[in-house]
């Protein structure tokens, strides 16, 4: 639920924001103060402060957090399982599948399907995501590992923490990068303007490192390999958007869901991207119980192949 476009009138100017909103919405002052604290109240598109006094013409937006479902409901959905034993399972996640239940999507997730497939899951982690040591965004395809035993969970968490996991992504970005390889280093934190987004333009955040190299260049896009030195939320998407080369199809960072190019200076060709062109191709790690290194690779999905073919044909036609 949200309350948008609440406009302060002249007669209301000077009131404390919690008092003003309590009158306007019926939400209690204590609830409003909690919403301010977590950044869910914006005044003129900026996070509100607790002692703010509203002014005439201020535009206020409130986002009410959704209540999460209480338990994980098993659901018979198909999973592409690459490996499983009593301690862990490696899954090739399809684009469009959410990893675990949360606000606005209590069903149909990878964890709902896994709860049906494996009746016994790890007992550690959130009740809605037991055994989840990392995740992929909804529209990112590729390989994930989920712990099925508590011992595996703790040992996999340590590997992620010490950055010994091998993660290789294939990503299609807008435009052409000047160099053939490079490294993006910054801090990443929650955006103060939109609490659902991450940003490099923050005062407080965590170190993030993404290493990349060019696989193939097209006239309006570049196919890259990206390797994570860290695992921050939306890291690859945020990093490439921050250097002016957003992931194609990303509706949040860069919004390059359609690109167009002129062929020989005349005909305009448009290419649309149904989702963010990001694929977790390789995941390698030490098995937490037997100590053996295991690695799995997922082929590029068909929707990415199709878009690369369109870009290749466009580039060759331009020549």
For residue 36, give the H/E element and its range: helix 29-37
* pLDDT tens string 80-97: 999 999 999 999 999 999
Question: Quick check: 75 and 112 in contact, CB under 8 A?
Answer: yes
Closest CA to 11 of 23, 2, 27: 23
Q: E strands, the chain, where? A: 2-7, 41-43, 46-47, 59-63, 81-84, 88-93, 141-147, 166-174, 181-190, 198-199, 206-217, 221-228, 258-263, 267-272, 278-286, 293-297
Rg over alpha carbons for the chain, rounded to the nearest Å, is 23
Query: Poorest-confidence range of 74-83, 119-128, 210-219, 295-304?
Result: 119-128
DSSP state of 12: G
**Over the range 148-165, which residues count as b (16 or more CB within 10 Å of their CB) and which as e?**
bbbebbebbbeebeeeeb
Among residues 18, 137, 139, 250, the one annotated as catalytic is: 137
CA distance 69 to 102: 7
180 is catalytic: no
Pick from 280, 274, 257: nearest CA to 174: 257
Per-residue pLDDT reduced to its tens digit, 46-69 = 889 988 999 999 989 888 776 555
* C-alpha closest to that of 58 among 67, 66, 49: 49
pLDDT tens, 19-28? 999 888 888 8
Supply the pLDDT for residue 176: 94
Is the pTM above the cut of 0.85?
Answer: no
Judged against a pLDDT cut of 80, whether residue 105 lies above it is answered with no
């Amino acid at each position: 639920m949200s309350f948008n476009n609440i406009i302060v009138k002249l007669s209301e100017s000077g009131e404390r924001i919690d008092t003003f909103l309590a009158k306007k919405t019926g939400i209690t002052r204590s609830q409003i103060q909690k919403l301010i604290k977590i950044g869910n109240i914006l005044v003129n598109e900026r996070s509100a402060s607790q002692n703010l006094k509203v002014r005439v013409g201020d535009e206020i937006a409130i986002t009410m957090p959704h209540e999460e479902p209480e338990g994980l409901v098993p659901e018979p959905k198909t999973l592409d399982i690459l490996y499983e034993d009593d301690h862990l399972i490696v899954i090739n996640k399809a684009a469009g599948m959410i990893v675990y239940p949360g606000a606005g999507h209590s069903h149909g997730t990878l964890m709902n399907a896994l709860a049906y497939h494996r009746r016994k899951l790890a007992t550690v982690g959130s009740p809605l995501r037991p055994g989840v040591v990392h995740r992929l965004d909804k529209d990112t395809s590729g390989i994930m590992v989920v712990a099925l035993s508590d011992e595996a969970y703790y040992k996999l968490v340590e590997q992620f923490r010490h950055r010994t996991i091998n993660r290789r992504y294939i990503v299609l970005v807008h435009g052409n990068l000047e160099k053939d390889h490079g490294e993006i280093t910054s801090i990443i934190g929650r955006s103060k303007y939109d609490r659902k987004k991450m940003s490099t333009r923050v005062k407080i955040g965590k170190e993030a490192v993404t290493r990349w190299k060019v696989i193939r260049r097209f006239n309006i896009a570049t196919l890259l390999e990206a390797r994570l030195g860290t695992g921050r939320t939306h890291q690859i998407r945020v990093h490439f958007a921050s250097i002016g080369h957003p992931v194609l199809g990303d509706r949040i960072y860069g919004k390059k869901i359609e690109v167009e190019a002129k062929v020989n200076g005349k005909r305009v060709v448009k290419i649309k991207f149904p989702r963010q062109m990001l694929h977790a191709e390789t995941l390698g790690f030490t098995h937490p119980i037997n100590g053996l290194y295991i690695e799995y690779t997922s082929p590029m999905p068909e929707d990415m192949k199709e878009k690369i073919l369109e870009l290749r044909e466009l580039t060759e036609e331009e020549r």
